[in-house]
């Protein structure tokens, strides 16, 4: 089972990208699993149902099954590694993790703007997806090259080759973005990422084509 994380701050578009990747990989015939980290105390059940009543009565673990699906409820937190093991036991082939920023799995970092540059200091960044405002000319020049969506590639063919070469390679050396504390340095860090072979994608709301190509190659 291969694992990739999608990380970013609130409203970066993480869930939208996760759904696009899940749809793409499912169409390839892969058994896909997802994990989501919630920063709040969520309620997964519907108040008043039998399972909700079981839990309210004090059950530490509750399960429900039908001819179509099964659900488990446990009244305790779980570590990412433990959840991943559970996915592997369920024959998941591709696991997409939303959140868990500090985990060590390969991750696509989503940047809403230059102020999110500190995320580039996270471990095992394998791709970067930017959504920078167009009025920022300096950032636009870095994040949105004219011919394609992959930084450093001047043609669509070079873009495709860059994606395949990177996705087929071993994990890159850890990036030293420890100084990425101010938005004024974000362009410098993006250039550094590009120089180390990390794909940098731009994604208009309706077009995830290149990053989905990367995901297909990553899970091939």
Domains and CATH numbers, the chain: 2-38+96-218 (3.40.50)
- Please, which residues bridge with residue 172 across strands? none
Distance CA 36, CA 97 (A): 6
Distance CA 75, CA 199 (A): 40
Closest CA to 54 of 70, 80, 74, 24: 74
The model scores a pTM over 0.85: no
- Please, which residues bridge with residue 4 across strands? 96
Q: For the segment 171-201, what is each residue's pLDDT rounded down to a tens digit?
A: 444 444 444 444 445 566 677 777 777 887 7
Q: Are strands 2-8 and 94-98 parallel, antiparallel or unpaired?
A: parallel
Q: For the segment 106-153, what is each residue's pLDDT rounded down to a tens digit?
A: 999 998 887 888 888 888 888 888 876 434 333 343 443 332 333 333
Give yes or no for a contact between 124 and 106, defined as CB atoms under 8 angstroms apart: yes
| DSSP type of residue 97 | E
State the pLDDT confidence band at 165, using cuts at 50, 70 and 90: low
Give yes or no for a contact between 25 and 32, defined as CB atoms under 8 angstroms apart: yes
Q: For the segment 44-82, what is each residue's pLDDT rounded down to a tens digit?
A: 889 999 999 999 999 999 999 999 999 999 989 899 999
Closest CA to 183 of 135, 114, 137, 109: 114
């Amino acid at each position: 089972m291969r694992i990739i994380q999608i990380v970013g701050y609130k409203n970066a578009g993480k869930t939208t990208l996760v759904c696009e990747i899940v749809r793409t990989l499912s169409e390839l015939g892969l058994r896909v699993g997802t994990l989501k980290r919630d920063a709040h105390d969520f309620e997964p059940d519907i108040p008043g149902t039998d399972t909700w009543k079981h839990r309210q009565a004090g059950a530490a673990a509750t399960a429900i099954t039908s001819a179509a699906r099964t659900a488990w409820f446990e009244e305790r937190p779980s570590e990412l590694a433990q959840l991943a093991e559970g996915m592997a036991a369920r024959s998941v082939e591709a696991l997409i993790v939303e959140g868990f920023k500090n985990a060590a799995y390969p991750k696509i970092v989503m940047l809403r703007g230059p102020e999110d540059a500190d995320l580039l200091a996270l471990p095992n960044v394998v791709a970067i997806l930017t959504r920078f405002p167009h009025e920022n000319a300096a950032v636009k020049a870095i994040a949105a090259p004219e011919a394609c969506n992959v930084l450093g590639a001047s043609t669509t063919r070079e873009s495709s080759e860059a994606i395949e070469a990177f996705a087929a390679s071993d994990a890159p050396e850890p990036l030293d973005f420890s100084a990425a504390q101010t938005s004024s340095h974000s362009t410098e860090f993006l250039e550094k990422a590009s120089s180390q072979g990390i794909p940098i994608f731009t994604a208009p709301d309706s077009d995830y084509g290149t990053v989905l190509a990367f995901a297909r190659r990553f899970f091939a």
